[in-house]
Structure 1
């Protein structure tokens, strides 16, 4: 008895065949039952292959199954299909496996290209890290640059490795830049430590000088010396952190002792000077009563007596000094001007010179007047007008000279 379905048959000897594009292929031998059962059995094996191929197609399409694993699975299924141990459209299964092979090969090329692209991006990223590290190696922003270099190391760790030669060369440059920065930073802070130690020693001396001056009572020179010490303190630079604050407190404390003592003395002096100012204001008012000067001798004596009391009073506050002294100087100037006027009035030589000048001008005026009158009488009007103009000028000078002569009392 035999069976002849669309994809297989069983001959009378129990041999099972499957039809393919290359003709019938022996599937196997079946002796345990009917031909229908044999075809059903081998059809189920075919259906199992269909399920496995369908699952593999789905994995290739929807998962990140590697090309290597996918190719191995394809080869395993192809061996089963090529072994013809199933009844069904084995040619269709073979074509599906061929299509899967093409898809996997395409994915392999895509992943190869993607990996190459990733490697190139990783190389560029590492190049950028190296370039930045080499720039930072010359920086003097020690804290910020140190933190940035540590961040660059973490960024480097997150990047994939390149081929060994490229990766080693980039890492060598990266490591060299970090080492160069570390050496420069170490040298900088070593120098800074030396400078701070030098500053500490200098400030210790300044503290000793400030403490030695704290008991001085030479207020002006000592205050000036403290200003010099402060300038030296600022120029000395900072000492180590653990010493700086203590040095400053000792230095400032010594100054405070001196300036507190000076403030107490100056406060007492201010009270005294305000009292002096009140007394001098009274004396200035007394001196101002001498104005205007009517009796020079009496005014001079009174002012001399007031001035003696003025000198005995002592200092007044600096800001009040110009005003109060200006009041006394105004009275003094008025007395001096009165003395000068008196001297001019009583000076015989000056009186003689004034009288001589007045006489000469009077003679000139009389002469010009006579000449002008004669010229006009002779009808020489132009000459008369010229002489009269000159006469007017000389008359003006004569009037001024007469006023000066009157100041001498006649």
Structure 2
């Protein structure tokens, strides 16, 4: 039976058992290759005698077919298959096979053994620089390019090859680690100087750090580039900040002074408008908030600007207070007159309420004393109407009293 498996990312033929191809004279052989440790199966079949009947392979050596497979994953992977003459005699090869499979397997082993030897030679060399690393990586590329059969011997070679590569990388890492650590410390110191923004003493500190950097060897290209970008970035940031500090401070002071002049102008305009509405009040408060948010405007004029701003705002707040006092007094008068009117309304509603309550008492008595069911229903309906009227009046009176307390 023939199926398919995925091996190294490629679909390859997998035979679940060794077949005889329906030939009673087929010869099935199994053997282990001592060089690679791989197990093979071979089937020679399809011999035909002069009468075109099945015969032993030895009796028809030129007409037989030959099938060769390597043991893999519980089955056999096709390496070579020369069909018998009766089936056409064509030749099929498994993945990566171009000729005699055993010969090609031994060639693969020779190539991989040579690569292991080169990797171990690089490991024996004390150099762990970039050139040596590139050579080691090139060996890995060569290894990947060699078609493998996944034999026990190949697994041993791979382990030896990987061991040499791993030890090389570890030693290279150890050599560069101390350089990376030293450069990391210098970068941190440079960042601390830059962050401190001590422009008087920082210049000498930065120059000393640069002298120490030049004495260090490589930490690896990527680490060197990353750490240098960090270190030099801190230095550049410091010197740029030092260069721009005075100019920026002066520009900011001028900007703040102009902003405060504008706030003074707007405060004066609000005061002159004599508008004391909520919107105008909110606008004047916003100017005060904006003033607090505006930075220093220079030692010479900052206090002068504040005094002008305060004088521009004061008339607004003074007049607004008077305006609100007048409005409140007017409201008190209107409210007092309204309350007086409401006293009369409450008295009238109370009289109405008293009458309704009297009528309720009468209805309740009549309901108790009557024997006429129809009359009782009529009296009960009238009672409910009066009770609703009483509730409405009491609600109105409570609402009026609540408003009178404001």
Question: TM-score of the superposition, structure 2-length normalised?
Answer: 0.35
Determine which structure has the larger helix proportion and give its number. 1
Q: Which has the larger radius of gyration?
A: 1
